[in-house]
Chains A and B, each alone.
Chain A
Amino acid sequence: MKAYLTYFKLKFISGLQYRAAAWAGIATQFFFGFVYIMVYIAFYDSGGSNLPMQLSEVVTYLWLNQAFLALVNQFSRDQELFKLIKEGGISYELARPKDLYFMWYFKIIGQRLANVTLRFIPLIIVTALLPYPFHFGLPSSFSHFLLFLLSLGMGTLLVTALSVLYPIITLLTMNEKGIVNLIITLADILSGIVVPIPFFPIFLQKISSFLPFQYISDLPFRIYVGNVSIENGLFGVVIQFIWVVLLILFGHFLMKKNLRRVVVQGG
């Protein structure tokens, strides 16, 4: 366990060095947050029937999305791992007397936590000071806030378990573009990064509830804004936990299977 935590620390500390990149990221996310919110404001101004969320809820949701984007998104992949696979560095990894799956798992989680640590605080502070309608709101209650923290933690474990799968699939396909890109695109839509899940057409909401993606960030963010009751939120956290366990078991199994057929590139 200690060795894995060292991997985590290593990635976390080196990730914290990229401060200039983080500022650029914050600026970009701030702007995009604004743009998305403007669109929703225009829609809400035009009126609609039985809307699933109030405007202030949507605004806070979108800011949370931007603030924690580095943690919860699928599209930023760990290029280092793909490079290992494509250029043969994986042979060194295999020589190490540790479980490769968990080595990668802790690397990814360290990287993601480092990226988000640099980004979310300035974004939240600035947006909390903005006037209505751009204002980033407080959590709907203290218990909602605690549940949000728990659920976001689970979401982090979940997104990591999914992210490890992509290099594992690449072990077999040798190309991270085709199938992996398809999965990532679907995952990003279904995790609510593009549009919050309650705005989906009903049939897609149904499909999505059987998949792990909406439990990454949509659930914690909706708990925060109070769109999900405490009871449903707790139930959601249990589902998150089940998905984390299932995906880690699956990833571990798939890695073992794929490693039997791995081809080392380069010399």
Chain B
Amino acid sequence: MKIYFKSLGMHLKGELEYRVNFILSFLSQILVFFTYYFVILALFTKFDHIKGFTLYEVLFCFSIIQFGFSFNEVFARGVDRFDNLIIQGGFDRLLLRPQNIVLQVLCSDSDFVKASRLIQAIIVMIIALCHLTIPWNFMRVFTVLLMLLSSCVIFFGIFLMAASYCFFTVQGLEVRNVFTDGGKHMAQYPIGVFTKGFVLFFTFVIPYAFVNYYPLLYVLGRTDNLLYAFSPLLVLFYLIPCVLVFYWGMKRYASVGS
């Protein structure tokens, strides 16, 4: 863990060397990710609700997903850009070192410019929560924290899964976007607004529904079932197959040479 924080600090220092570039990129990222929110804002000028969910409920739902995604983009950038390690042969070097391999991949890269997106997600979440009239109590606050945690966990799992893909082939990498960006796009709305097939898919195959749909229902007071409040914890189990796939892929790994 100490190694990880140290490498994080080094990456940050490295990025801050180009200070103007860092600030400009940081600002432009904010605008880039505003486009995601723009879709929702624009559509809600024409529609009052989406299957009973109002603008701020959707924004809250979306900010949870954005938070987890950008958290991983900043702190697990090495996993996100794993294809670079494979294509350039850097992975061989990591294998030689006497350290946990996932930890080393985590240390290999980070992207603090993406922190702008993280901050943006937090701001949107606060705005959304201020506009919602939620009867706050300890359990609800706890559920929101669980949602944030599970959002970070699920994207780490998905990134790891996507990284494993590189062990088999480095072609057609954009297919992976279907699972990361495509799933993310659907999960920005409460999953329940879609047809049943999708709800089942996002419950049992990629469990986005446990991140921001079932617990959302509890926080908004649509249900009093405590199972809904604790459902984000189930996402932790999702990590197991992801890690297994990664190690399984690593066994089959053949270096690209050079």
* Alpha-carbon gap, A186 to B51, bound state (A): 30
Inside 8 A of B198's CB, which chain A residues have their CB?
Answer: 38
A35 and B182 form a contact (CB under 8 A):
yes
Interface size class of A (residues with CB under 8 A): 35 or more
**Other-chain residue from A47, A181, A201 in contact with B45 (beta carbon distance below 8 A):** A201
A28 to B52, CA, bound (A): 30
Q: Does B175 contact A (CB under 8 A)?
A: yes
Say whether A189 contacts B38, CB under 8 Å.
yes
Residue of B nearest to A48 (CB): B47
Q: A28-B177, A48-B48, A199-B46 are in contact. Are A20 and B172 (CB under 8 A)?
A: yes
Binary CB contact string for chain A from 37 to 53 against chain B (1 if under 8 A, 0 otherwise): 01100110111110110
The number of residues on chain B lying at the interface, defined by a beta carbon within 8 Å of a beta carbon of chain A, is 33
B189 within 8 A of A: yes
* Interface: A138 (CB within 8 A): no
Does A195 interact with chain B (Cβ within 8 Å)? yes
Cα of A101 to Cα of B171 in the assembled complex, Å: 33
Mask: chain B, 195-208; 1 = CB below 8 Å from A; 0 = not: 10010000000000
Residues 143-194 (chain A) with a chain B CB within 8 angstroms: 175, 177-178, 181-182, 185-186, 188-189, 194
In terms of DSSP, what is the predominant structure of the interface of chain A? Answer: helix
Cβ-defined partner of A21 (8 Å) among B21, B172, B177: B172
Q: Is A253 part of the contact surface with B, judged by Cβ < 8 Å? A: no
Residues on the A chain within 8 Å of B177, using CB: 28
A46 adjacent to B182 (CB under 8 Å): no
Q: Which residues on A are within 8 Å of B, measured CB to CB?
A: 20-21, 23-25, 27-28, 31-32, 35-36, 38-39, 42-43, 45-49, 51-52, 175, 177-178, 181-182, 185-186, 188-189, 194-195, 199-201, 204
